[in-house]
Amino acid sequence: MQRRSALKSLAVTFGGLVSLPAWASSWTPDSVGPVSLVSFDEETLLGEIVETFIPETSTPGAKSLKVHQFALRMIKDCYGESAQTTLQQGLALTETTAQQAYSKAFAACDAPQRLDVLSRMVASTDPAGKPFVDLAKRLTIQGYTNSEYYLVNVQKFTMAPGFYHGCVPVSKLAVNGTK
């Protein structure tokens, strides 16, 4: 009886591991593909929000690595309907907060103004403000640190560590078998 339940648990665990999204690590924008969760304008706004969290410097920013597409894919495939609602409400709240604070769209604000808008959302009493900023920040960091650019250029990840040198000159002493 215990062996049967242990086998069931093992099968469920194995099935869960197999169903994990393989694209979530070392992803590229091509592997994520198009996501039709939000409108084009909302996707652009999310791109500006992730760029606020990780701006472009001498290294590419989150927007140029298309982390916002990663976040959309994660919310669509891995999160529940409540996260999708939080995303929709948070994007609308971002624009509303930017309009109230600076009388312009979030995308037209400069970096300190954008940070201020996001800080106001965290401190606001709106139930969608803080969860949206936390969700966007978490997915931005996850997407950036799991991107192919970050893993290859920053973490120096190599698929198969070690090197094979197939053509190495052999010294005469080693050929004769004496040292």
Would you list the domain boundaries of the chain? 40-151
State how far Cα 151 lies from the chain centre.
12
**Alpha helices, DSSP H only, in 60-163?**
67-78, 81-102, 111-123, 129-145, 148-149
> Environment class of residue 36 by beta-carbon count within 10 Å: exposed (0-12), middle (13-18) or buried (19+)?
exposed
Question: What letter would DSSP give residue 56?
Answer: -
Evaluate if residue 17 carries a pLDDT over 60: no
CB burial of 112-129 (b: ≥16 within 10 Å; e: otherwise) equals ebbebbbebbeeeebebb
Residue-level pLDDT at 24: 55
**Taking the model in full, what pTM does it have?**
0.70
Evaluate if residue 16 carries a pLDDT over 70: no
Residue 15 confidence class, pLDDT cut points 50, 70, 90? low
Q: What is the mean pLDDT of the chain?
A: 83
Evaluate if residue 8 carries a pLDDT over 90: no
Distance CA 119, CA 113 (A): 10
Evaluate if residue 5 carries a pLDDT over 90: no
Residue-level pLDDT at 120: 92
Evaluate if residue 22 carries a pLDDT over 60: no
Residue 135 confidence class, pLDDT cut points 50, 70, 90? very high
Residue 124 confidence class, pLDDT cut points 50, 70, 90? confident
Strand partners, 67: none
**CA nearest 71: which of 120, 29, 16?**
29
Evaluate if residue 25 carries a pLDDT over 70: no
Distance CA 83, CA 79 (A): 6
pLDDT one-digit tens code per residue, 42-99: 888 999 999 999 999 999 999 998 999 999 998 988 888 999 999 999 999 999 999 9
**CA angle 154–160–162, rounded 5-degree value:** 90
Q: Are 132 and 90 in contact (CB under 8 A)?
A: yes
Distance CA 146, CA 33 (A): 16
